[in-house]
Structure 1
Amino acid sequence: MTRNHPRPSRRTVLGGAAVAAFTAVAGAAPAAATARGAAWPALFPLPDGWLPEGITIGRGPYAYMGSRANGAVYRTDLRTGEGRVVHAGGTGLVAIGLKLDDDGLLYVAGGGGGTARIVDSRTGRLLRTHRLTEATGHFVNDVILHEDRAWFTDSYGPVLYGVPRGRRGDVRALPLTGDWEQTPEVINANGVVSTPDGRGLIVVRSTPGELYRVSLRTGRATRIRLSGADDVLNGDGLVRVGRTLYVVQNRLNLVSVWDLDASAGRAALRRTITDPRFDVPATAAPFGDRLYLVNARFTSPQTPGTTFTAVAVNR
C-alpha cells in the first residue's frame, strides 16, 4: 500500500474532539489486519442505481465507495458486508475517484464538475469544495494522497491538480509535458499512485493504454517501458503495494499485475487476475491479502434499477 508522507493532522481541520471521536469509531482495527478467508464475505451489494466507480479503504475494515448518480458515499463493513450511506451527496454532484486519509478525511474527485470535495468520513459532512478548473470540457477523475497534497488527474486535460491537505495553501495546477501526448475526445489520464521511491507519481493513460512516471517538480511525464504485454488498454484504477503495481483494466474485466523497477522506469507483467464476478470493474483498494473492486458495469444500462456490487479477490 502506498504510504503517505507527513501531512496536516485532522486536528488542524476539525479540532481535537473530532480526532478522539474518529479514533474510537474507525481506528480500532490495525492496518495489518487481513481478511479472514471465507469468514469475511467476498461479494457486497450496493444500492440499486448507485453507479459506483471509486473505492478506498483505510486502516479499519471499511470500504468507501462513491456514486456517479449524485456524489454520495457508501460505507461497507468488510467483515460483514453490511453498509450504509455516510454522505448524501446532492443534485448535480458525482463522486468518481476517492481516497481516505489516515485522519478520516475523504478526498473526492468531482468528474465533469471540475471540483475536489473533502468529506468527513465519520460524520458525512462536506468540509470544503475546491474548484480545480473554471474551464468546461474537463473531467476530474482520480486522486492519490502524497506528502502534503492530494493529487487529482484530469482525463480531458494534460494537467494534474494538487490540493492542500489542510486549511492552508492554494491548489497547484501542474501541466504534463515530456512524453505525454493528449488525445482529444477519449479518456487520457485516469488512475494515479505514487512511485516506489516517493519522488513522483505514476499515471495511467487509458487510451491507448500507457503508464507514465510524472515529476512533481516539473510535470515532465516519462513513459514507463512495459515488458510481457504491449499496453494496459482501458487502464482505470491503480494500486501500488511496494514495487507491485495493479492496473484495473475495466472493459477487459481483468487486473494486470506488474513488477516495477526501483525508479518506476520499467514494468514487467507478472500475471493477470480475472474473476467471473467482474462486470467492468473500475477501481480497486487493498486490505490485508485482498483487493476490493467495484463493478461499474459501464456496458450495462445505467438506470435507477440497475444492480451493483463490489467484489474481493486474493492479491
Structure 2
Amino acid sequence: MRQKMLALWPLLTLGLTAGSLAQAQTAPAPTASITADTVGPLNARALLVDTQGRPQGEAAFVQREDGVRVNVQVRSLAPGNHGMHIHEFSACAPGVDAATNTVVPFGGAGPHFDPAMSHNHDKPTAANELGHGGDLPMLTVGENGTGRASFVTDKISLRGENGILNRTLVIHANADDYASDPAGKSGGRVLCGTVDRQGLSVRDYPLPGWQTFPEGVTYDAGRNLLLTGSAQTGDIYAVNAASGETSLYSRGGALGRRAALDLKVDSQGRLWIAGGAEGTVSVLDRYGVTLKVLETPKSPAAFINDLALAPDGHVYVTDSRRPVIYRVSPDLRLSAWLDLTKTPIRYGEGDNLNGIVATPDGRALLIAQSNTGDLWRVDLRTKAVRKVLTGLKNADGLVLRGQDLYVARNRDQVISRVRLNADWTSAQLAAEEPLAGLRFPATLTVVGSDLVVTQAQLDRREGGTPETPFRLTRFSAF
C-alpha cells in the first residue's frame, strides 16, 4: 500500500491566464464524466528530482470541469525557457530514448503521452488528434534559477482517456519549438516526477512477462489466490493475495487455449476460461489440469469474452461478435441458450455484449454492451430482455456486490459503480474512479472488502509499447 499526501504552494502565473489555455483547446472532453463522485478530491502531485535523485521542485494537478489546473515550482535550473511534457510511463529512471536510440537520464519515462495517437509534436493549444496530449506550456526560469508556472489545460485529465495519473512530468534542458518531432528540440531530460494521486491507497501485484496483457482475474478464496490469464499467450498465473508471490498455474496453448480472457472459479475449485477468438470455454481442475474444452460453432467471428456462474450451477457465456448467449449445464454441456436477434439487443461494429453477472437470487443476468454503453437485464426464466441503464461506453468486466455493480471501462480508464434497485430493473451511475491510474482495465474480482482489477493494456497489443511490469491493482470498494 502507498499513501499519498497533498502538497500545495502559492504559485505565480505564466503569460497564459488561468483558463485561457483550456478555452483555446479544441480537443474533446474525456469520455468519463467529471461530475460523478470519486473517493476523494481528484488531485495529484509530482515530486520533481534531478538526474542525481535530488528533489528540485514539485508540481500539483487539480481536476476541474474545464480541465486540469497545473502548478509547477522548480529551483536550480538554468535561466530561460524549458520544454515541459507529460511522458507515457511512470519510471523516472535511465532508459532508451527512441529518438536517439541511446540510454539517457529519465529515458524510462518513455515518449510523450499521446492518447489520440497523433504521432506528432505540436503546440499546447493543439487538439490531441493533432499533437501529443503531453505537450504543455514551457516553464520559464528566472536569473535566480527558480521557475513557477500555473495554467489550465484540457489536453490532459486525471481520469478517462486522457488520464495522466501514474505517468511522468519531465522538464527539459532547452526551450520547445512546438514543431520538431519528437520533442521540439528541447534537449535533455533534466527533471522528472511521477504524477501520484493524492488521498487514495492502492496495492499493485506485479506480473511476469513482456507480453502478458492480463485480461481476466478471479479469486480462489479457499487458497487465497488470485488467478489471472494472458490475452496474448493463454498463460494462467497464480498470485498469492497476501504476499504477492506469483507462479505459473497453467501454460498457454494447452489443448488449443491460445488466449485467456475472463476467468471464474466455481464452488468445486474449477477454473473456467473464456477463450476469445478460439470460440472456446476451457475448464481446469484446481491443479491447473484441463478437464474439458467446450467448443462453440466454428466461425471467423467468434469472440467468447465473459462468463457468469449462476446459483443453480449453470454458466452463462457472452460472445462479443455473434449475437447469442451460450449456456453450460452442470454436466458440462454447452448450448446456444438465447438468440439475441429476437431481442431488443442489436449487434454492431466492435465489441458488443461483454461483461456478465448473475443476480444472487438466480432470477436474472446483468450484461454490459461495450460499444453502445447499455446495461441489459435478461430474465433467466422467461428470457425477457430489458434495458437497465445506458452511458457505460467501453464497459468490460462486471462485479456485483449487493446492489452495487462495479464496471471496468477499459478505454475510459475508470471503474464505475452503478447502484441497482431491489429487482435489478433500474439503476443509476453512483461513482467513477480512476484509482491511482489505470491502463485499460478489463475485469474485476472481489477479495473480502476489496476489489482487484486487471490493468490489461489491450490497446497496446497491436501498436505502441506496453508499460511493464504488467499488474493487477487492489483497492477498497467505494
Q: Alignment identity in percent?
A: 33
The 5 Å alignment of 1:1-315 reads: 42-48=203-209, 49-60=211-222, 61-90=224-253, 93-120=258-285, 122-146=286-310, 147-167=312-332, 169-176=333-340, 177-183=342-348, 185-224=349-388, 226=389, 231-300=391-460, 307=468, 308-315=470-477
Is the Cα contact below 8 Å between 2:202 and 2:435 reproduced in 1? no
CA offset at residue 208 of structure 1? 1.3
C-alpha distance in 2 between matches for 1:301 and 1:250 = 14
C-alpha distance in 1 between matches for 2:405 and 2:202 = 25
- The alpha-carbon distance between structure 1 residues 251 and 302, as it changes in their structure 2 partners (threshold 3 A), is same
Is the Cα contact below 8 Å between 1:41 and 1:78 reproduced in 2? no
CA offset at residue 278 of structure 1? 1.3
C-alpha distance in 2 between matches for 1:299 and 1:148 = 34
C-alpha distance in 1 between matches for 2:398 and 2:277 = 21
Question: Deviations 1:21-52 (Å, cap 9, x if unpaired)?
Answer: xxxxxxxxxxxxxxxxxxx9811111221111
C-alpha distance in 2 between matches for 1:42 and 1:75 = 17
CA offset at residue 171 of structure 1? 2.8
Amino acid at match of 1:156: R
Is the Cα contact below 8 Å between 1:281 and 1:297 reproduced in 2? yes
- The alpha-carbon distance between structure 1 residues 196 and 128, as it changes in their structure 2 partners (threshold 3 A), is closer
Is the Cα contact below 8 Å between 2:457 and 2:466 reproduced in 1? no
C-alpha distance in 1 between matches for 2:426 and 2:360 = 12
Range that drifts further, 46-55 or 303-312: 303-312
Is the Cα contact below 8 Å between 2:373 and 2:395 reproduced in 1? yes
Q: TM-score, normalised by structure 1?
A: 0.80
DSSP 3-state at the match of 2:459: coil
Aligned length: 269
Question: Deviations 1:257-291 (Å, cap 9, x if unpaired)?
Answer: 11111221111222122223311111110111111
C-alpha distance in 1 between matches for 2:249 and 2:382 = 38
- The alpha-carbon distance between structure 1 residues 260 and 196, as it changes in their structure 2 partners (threshold 3 A), is farther
Larger Rg: 2
* 1:36 alignment partner in structure 2: none
Range that drifts further, 69-78 or 169-178: 169-178
Flag structure 1 segments of 5+ consecutive residues without an equivalent. 1-39
C-alpha distance in 1 between matches for 2:358 and 2:447 = 18
Is the Cα contact below 8 Å between 1:41 and 1:79 reproduced in 2? no
C-alpha distance in 2 between matches for 1:83 and 1:102 = 23
Question: Deviations 1:54-73 (Å, cap 9, x if unpaired)?
Answer: 10113232111011122121
CA offset at residue 174 of structure 1? 1.8
* 1:34 alignment partner in structure 2: none
Amino acid at match of 1:140: I
Amino acid at match of 1:81: G
CA offset at residue 305 of structure 1? 7.8
- The alpha-carbon distance between structure 1 residues 295 and 302, as it changes in their structure 2 partners (threshold 3 A), is farther
CA offset at residue 170 of structure 1? 4.7
Range that drifts further, 86-95 or 67-76: 86-95
Question: Deviations 1:65-86 (Å, cap 9, x if unpaired)?
Answer: 0111221211100101111111
C-alpha distance in 1 between matches for 2:337 and 2:386 = 18
Is the Cα contact below 8 Å between 2:455 and 2:472 reproduced in 1? yes
Q: TM-score, normalised by structure 2?
A: 0.54
CA offset at residue 148 of structure 1? 2.2
DSSP 3-state at the match of 2:457: coil
CA offset at residue 222 of structure 1? 0.9
Amino acid at match of 1:130: L
Q: Which runs of 4+ in 1 moved over 4 A?
A: 301-306
CA offset at residue 194 of structure 1? 1.0
C-alpha distance in 1 between matches for 2:237 and 2:462 = 18
- Specify which structure has the bigger relative contact order, considering alpha-carbon pairs within 8 angstroms and separated by 6 or more residues: 1
CA offset at residue 294 of structure 1? 0.7
DSSP 3-state at the match of 2:411: helix
The structure with the greater share of residues assigned to strand is 1
